[in-house]
Amino acid sequence: MDSILQFFSTLLLALLILCVFLYHIKRPTTSKIKTCSIPQAGGAWPIIGHPHHLVLVLSFWEISRGCFTVHDKVFSTRPSTLASRLLGYNNAMFGFGPYGPYWHEMRKIVTIELLSNHRLDMLKHVCTLEVKTAFRELFNLWVRKDLMLNVTLRMVAGKRFHGAGVDCEEGEVQSFEKVMRDFSYLFGVFVLSDTVPFLGWLDVNGYERAMKKTAKKLDAMMGRLLEEHKQKRLLGGEAKGEQDFMDVMLTIIEDAGIAGFDADTINKATCLNLILAGSDATMIHLTWTLALLLNNQHVLRKAQEELNFHVGKERCVDESDETLRLYPPAPIISLRAAMEDCTLSTGYHIPTGTCLMDKGVGGQNFEFIPFGSARRSCPGISLALQLVHLTLASFLHGFEVAKPSNDGVDMAESPGLATLKATPLEVILTPRLNSELYGQ
């Protein structure tokens, strides 16, 4: 009996010492100055406090500006998540990869070789031809977002998935679109192991299993595209004047000697990154733009009047930013993480490893950053804006747009990495130009 009492007394004393220890750790000491405090959030549990996974959520543009200018290098890396490891070729996909030599090299290649003004000028005809082709098959292409997928795939891999002159079977196209939707959804879900790593073995909701399955399908599809390009090079079919991005990557990686990943992984990861970003983000933005215009008919009429004045109705367009603020394609710019300790202008001390989340990407008064900022800004800004302007102007110039009913367009959003509309956008189209212009 005495031994049992002694055991519980010792246990109670140990718990008391632990509570005192935790209290002193969490309580700021008088020797620490105010500028070295960590921002405290409400809702903490007794004694334990918050789960020890620090995330700094930015709600004011002044603090965001400090993080992305003064402390830009500190917050230039990405945290390693289950999605980036399983779906992003173990962080080889540069858009989600950590800051370092590999990221530097890949961003330089993408910016200088793939998305440079010279390269985009060489492939400019792809955008123009696909937009014109889309108008001939508009009801099918626009609703199923085939236009942007065609443009992106032709530029990245020289493929066409929809409409006349397709390069793939219908089953392969449907599988590719399905796996891309799965990728977008799975990359945006909350995974328990990212916050509480030691519980990763539970695989709550089966996300890890789904990610592995999706990654395997994506890798197989990208592997087939890469093998086709290799075979084309062996047979001497590489076109010097017009190369797609995968051709360019094959040439560059042979001479670059990039450390960290094998050449095939780098090529597949980079090209997949460009396909996903180029097709989904652009089409999502255009869908939200059209939805906003349908709900604001006076703005739609004004846009078409300006097109009538500057272009007229005797020819087609040869070559809207507010939508990016209201409905950015990525509702929360991908997480960043602190590579070292830093102190913000507000006096808050941010420890190494703290994740950074900017929930105010939409901004106010047109102070928005839909393409990210500083070192991690999107290298495809120029291409995205060119494609959005050309497609939207051509669409509004070529067709009268109306709602099927007097009700407003449902603006509900769906969860995931990209801000998809929760319900399909339904529109009634009426040609505005001479019928001959749609067949050019």
375: tokens are: 């070192």
Give the chain's mean pLDDT: 75
- 43-52, 258-267, 330-339, range with greatest mean pLDDT: 258-267
**Residue found under tokens 């540069």:** 94
Coil, helix or strand for 336?
strand
In a domain, 10, yes or no: no
Which of the residue ranges 36-40, 120-124, 182-186, 378-382 would you say has the lowest mean pLDDT? Answer: 36-40
422: tokens are: 């929760």
- 132-146, 243-257, 386-400, range with greatest mean pLDDT: 243-257
In a domain, 16, yes or no: no
Per-residue confidence (pLDDT) for residue 211, from 0 to 100: 94
Coil, helix or strand for 401?
strand
CB burial readout 164-203, b (16+ within 10 A) else e: eeeebeeeebeebbebbebbbbbbbbebbbbeeeeeeeeb
CB burial readout 36-59, b (16+ within 10 A) else e: eeeeeeeeeeeeeeeeeebebebe
Coil, helix or strand for 316?
coil
27: tokens are: 């309580």
How many domains does the chain fold into?
A: 1
Whether the pLDDT of residue 417 is over 70: the answer is: no
Q: Does the annotation place 67 within a ligand binding site?
A: no
Q: Residue 277 and residue 282: Cα distance in Å, rounded? A: 8
In a domain, 59, yes or no: yes
- CA 11 centroid distance within chain: 51
Tens-place pLDDT, residues 391-403: 777 778 777 888 8
Per-residue confidence (pLDDT) for residue 227, from 0 to 100: 92
Which of the residue ranges 244-248, 406-410, 425-429, 434-438 would you say has the lowest mean pLDDT? Answer: 434-438
Whether the pLDDT of residue 322 is over 60: the answer is: no
The pLDDT-based confidence of 214 (bands split at 50, 70, 90) is very high
In a domain, 434, yes or no: yes
Whether the pLDDT of residue 82 is over 50: the answer is: yes
Q: What average pLDDT does the segment 307-335 reach?
A: 60
Residue 102's CB is within 10 A of a number of other CB atoms, namely 18
Per-residue confidence (pLDDT) for residue 220, from 0 to 100: 93
Per-residue confidence (pLDDT) for residue 181, from 0 to 100: 84
CATH of the domain at 180: 1.10.630.10
Max alpha carbon distance in the chain (Å)? 101
Contact assessment for residue 75 and residue 338, using Cβ atoms and an 8 Å cutoff = yes
Contacts of 248 (CB under 8 A, 6+ apart): 113, 114, 119
Burial of residue 128 (CB within 10 Å: 0-12, 13-18, 19+) is middle
Whether the pLDDT of residue 129 is over 90: the answer is: no
Q: Residue 160 and residue 149: Cα distance in Å, rounded? A: 8
In a domain, 211, yes or no: yes
Residue 2's CB is within 10 A of a number of other CB atoms, namely 6
Q: Give the structural domain span for 316.
A: 34-41+48-439
Whether the pLDDT of residue 7 is over 90: the answer is: no
In order, the DSSP letters of 233-296 are HHTT---SSS--HHHHHHHHHHHH--SSS-HHHHHHHHHHHHHHIIIIIHHHHHHHHHHHHHH-
Residue 375 is classified by DSSP as G
β-pairing verdict for 55-58 and 355-358: parallel
Per-residue confidence (pLDDT) for residue 286, from 0 to 100: 78
In a domain, 196, yes or no: yes
The pLDDT-based confidence of 348 (bands split at 50, 70, 90) is confident
Which of the residue ranges 40-49, 183-192, 335-344 would you say has the lowest mean pLDDT? Answer: 40-49
Per-residue confidence (pLDDT) for residue 439, from 0 to 100: 60
In a domain, 176, yes or no: yes
In a domain, 8, yes or no: no
Q: Which of 208, 183, 160, 220 has its CA nearest to residue 96?
A: 183
Whether the pLDDT of residue 133 is over 80: the answer is: no
- 23-32, 135-144, 247-256, range with greatest mean pLDDT: 247-256
Q: Residue 134 and residue 318: Cα distance in Å, rounded? A: 14
pTM (whole model) above 0.75? no
Whether the pLDDT of residue 8 is over 80: the answer is: no
